[in-house]
């Protein structure tokens, strides 16, 4: 005899807890003949098909604007979920939401080349993995010697220069980019908070001014 599961509990495991979302998901399962009105449990052999039905019809999405934008572009119906960890786009990650918003802002503002000064090796690697391609990145190790002419080359090359002061960044390196009178100073953003999301949000704020 096959086991069965509580339908509302199964939906909740997928972040479908909002009343309207749950009603729409149930309606889709009923339309597919996997359950019927008033029934509270579903047999486990039906669950893979139920998962497929929901995935084909709905895009499970949080309330973040960038996630909503991607969801609308999918062609599927939007199904609000809570918590955000069940969002198909960001999975509840602040970093992921910031990456999407940063890329959209750069595209809108015509920014193609971005210099990041500072940050740990692991974070620089993460940024290259997530942003390189749509953008051209130049990552500057803030712990290694940088000459004034090298910094000048970075400033001339980049459309946006993010100087990450709250990370592994020596003053002798950062001063080449941030001291008053530096050519191309209008491109430079001095970021004082840690975290990838904070870095990218500072860039977004600067570009939107």
Does the pLDDT at position 101 exceed 90? no
Instruction: At 143, list the tokens.
Output: 């712990």
Domain final residue pick, 54, 86, 118: 86
**Co-location of 25 and 77 in the same domain:** yes
Sign of CA dihedral 110, 175, 137, 101: negative
**Co-location of 110 and 79 in the same domain:** no
**Co-location of 65 and 117 in the same domain:** no
Per-residue pLDDT reduced to its tens digit, 111-145: 999 999 999 888 889 899 989 999 999 999 999 99
How many whole angstroms separate alpha carbon 26 and alpha carbon 42?
11
**Contacts with 155 (C-beta within 8 Å, 6 or more apart), sequence order:** 115, 161, 177, 182, 183, 184, 187, 188
Flag whether 96 is in a domain. Answer: no
Q: How far is CA 67 from CA 63, 80, 84, 148, in A?
A: 7, 11, 10, 41
What total number of domains does the chain contain? 2
Domain that holds residue 160: 105-208
Residue the block writes with tokens 């992921």? 96
**Contacts with 181 (C-beta within 8 Å, 6 or more apart), sequence order:** none
**Co-location of 122 and 187 in the same domain:** yes
Tell me the CATH number at 144. 3.40.50
**Co-location of 180 and 141 in the same domain:** yes
Does the pLDDT at position 173 exceed 60? yes
| Helix, strand, coil content of the chain in percent (nearest 5) | 50, 15, 35
**Contacts with 152 (C-beta within 8 Å, 6 or more apart), sequence order:** 176, 183
**Co-location of 151 and 82 in the same domain:** no
Residue the block writes with tokens 């602040």? 94
Q: How far is CA 162 from CA 34, 64, 97, 159, in A?
A: 53, 24, 18, 10
**Co-location of 43 and 127 in the same domain:** no
Q: What is the CB neighbour count within 10 angstroms for residue 148?
A: 12
Flag whether 133 is in a domain. Answer: yes
pTM of the model: 0.65
**Co-location of 135 and 197 in the same domain:** yes
Give me the pLDDT at residue 93, please: 81
Give me the pLDDT at residue 188, please: 95
Give me the pLDDT at residue 139, please: 95
Instruction: At 36, list the tokens.
Output: 């019927």
**Co-location of 119 and 202 in the same domain:** yes
Per-residue pLDDT reduced to its tens digit, 16-69: 999 999 999 999 999 999 999 999 999 999 999 999 999 999 999 998 887 888
Give me the pLDDT at residue 2, please: 59
Classified as helix, coil or strand, 135 is strand
């Amino acid at each position: 005899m096959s086991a069965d599961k509580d339908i509302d509990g199964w939906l909740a495991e997928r972040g479908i807890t909002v009343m309207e979302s749950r009603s729409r998901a149930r309606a889709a399962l009923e339309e597919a003949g996997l359950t019927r009105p008033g029934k509270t449990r579903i047999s486990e052999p039906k669950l893979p098909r139920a998962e497929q039905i929901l995935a084909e019809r709905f895009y499970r999405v949080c309330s973040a604007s960038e996630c909503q934008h991607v969801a609308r572009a999918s062609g599927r119906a939007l199904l609000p979920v809570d918590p955000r960890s069940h969002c198909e786009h960001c999975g509840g990650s602040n970093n992921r939401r910031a990456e999407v918003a940063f890329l959209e802002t750069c595209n809108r503002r015509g920014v193609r080349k971005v210099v990041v000064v500072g940050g740990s090796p692991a974070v620089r690697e993460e940024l290259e993995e997530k942003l390189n391609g749509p953008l051209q990145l130049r990552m500057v190790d803030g712990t290694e010697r940088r000459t004034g002419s090298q910094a000048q080359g970075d400033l001339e090359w980049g459309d946006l220069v993010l100087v990450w002061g709250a990370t592994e960044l020596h003053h002798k390196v950062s001063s080449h980019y941030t001291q008053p009178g530096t050519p191309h100073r209008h491109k430079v953003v001095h970021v004082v908070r840690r975290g990838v999301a904070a870095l990218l949000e500072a860039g977004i704020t600067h570009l939107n001014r």
